[in-house]
Amino acid sequence: MTNMTVTKDSIIGDVLDANIETAQFFFEIGMHCLGCPSARGESIADACAVHGTDADELVRKINAFLAK
């Protein structure tokens, strides 16, 4: 469990470092390159823009998961 609160400005690498199980949510949006340096340094908002996904929805899902 982590006390992290994820926002659209959160860096993907920081989210994964806090809880690797959050990778499932990135995989769901088609982001399968989580280990590459650019992906780990990208914000959730930037990744969602590239992948055509709603950043607010992804942040909501991740925060709900982290709150469990």
pLDDT tens for the chain, 68 residues long, are 467 899 999 999 999 999 999 999 999 988 877 777 877 889 999 999 988 999 999 999 999 999 98
How confident is the model at residue 2, as a pLDDT?
Answer: 60
Model pTM score: 0.88
Q: Are 48 and 29 in contact (CB under 8 A)?
A: yes
| Distance between CA atoms of residues 7 and 58, nearest Å | 9
Q: Tokens in use for 62?
A: 């991740």
Cβ-based neighbours of 62, under 8 Å, separated by 6 or more = 6, 15, 22, 25
Identify the three-state secondary structure at position 53.
coil
Number of Cβ within 10 Å of residue 2's Cβ equals 12
How confident is the model at residue 49, as a pLDDT?
Answer: 92
